[in-house]
Amino acid sequence: MSRDIGLASDVTKPPRYPLIFNPKARSQRAQRAESFIMERATRFAMYATSSPEEARDLAANFAAEGAPVVVAAGGDGTLNAVLQGLAGSTTALGVIPAGTMNVFARELGIPYGHLDKAFEVIEAGYIREIDLFEVNGSPFMQMAGLGFDASVIEETTWESKKMLGPLAYLLAAVKVLGEKPPKMEVITAEGECVEGVAVLAGNGTLYGGQLPLFRKADNQDEMLDVLVFQESGYRLVLDSFASLARGGVDLSKSVTHLQSRDFVVRCAREFPIQVDGELLGRATEVHFRAIERKLRVLAPEHPIVSRFGEAMKSLGGWTRKMQGIEE
Whether 290 contacts 87, CB under 8 Å = no
CA atoms of 105 and 279, how far apart (whole Å): 20
Helix (H) or strand (E) holding 163: helix 158-164
Say what the pLDDT of residue 3 is. 66
Beta strands in 51-152 (DSSP E): 69-74, 92-97, 126-135, 138-140, 143-146
Q: Span 4-134+293-303: which CATH code? A: 3.40.50.10330
End-to-end Cα distance, the chain: 19
Say what the pLDDT of residue 322 is. 41
pLDDT in tens, the chain (327 residues): 456 665 544 467 888 999 999 887 666 777 888 889 999 989 999 999 999 999 999 999 999 999 999 999 999 999 999 999 999 899 999 999 998 789 999 999 999 889 999 999 999 999 999 999 999 999 999 999 999 999 988 988 877 877 887 788 888 888 888 888 899 999 999 999 999 999 999 999 999 878 889 999 999 999 999 999 998 877 877 877 777 777 788 878 889 999 999 999 999 999 999 999 899 999 999 999 999 989 999 999 886 655 445 445 544 444 444 444 444
CA atoms of 188 and 109, how far apart (whole Å): 31
CATH fold for domain 138-290: Tumour Suppressor Smad4 (2.60.200)
Beta strands in 126-231 (DSSP E): 126-135, 138-140, 143-146, 184-188, 193-196, 198-202, 224-229
Whether 298 contacts 96, CB under 8 Å = no
48 bridge partner residues: 21
Q: What is the DSSP letter of 87?
A: T
Please state the domain extents for the chain: 4-134+293-303, 138-290
Helix/strand/coil for 260? strand
Is the pTM here over 0.75, yes or no?
A: yes
Say what the pLDDT of residue 168 is. 83
Are β-strands 69-74 and 92-97 bridged in parallel, bridged antiparallel, or unpaired? parallel
Single out the residue of 41, 118, 127 nearest to residue 91, CA to CA: 127
Whether 119 contacts 40, CB under 8 Å = yes
Say what the pLDDT of residue 308 is. 46
Say what the pLDDT of residue 39 is. 92
Four-point Cα dihedral 187, 104, 131, 122, nearest 10:
170
Helix/strand/coil for 144? strand
CA atoms of 202 and 248, how far apart (whole Å): 14
DSSP 6-67: EE-TT-PPPSSEEEEE-TT--SHHHHHHHHHHHHTGGGEEEEE-SSHHHHHHHHHHHHHTT-
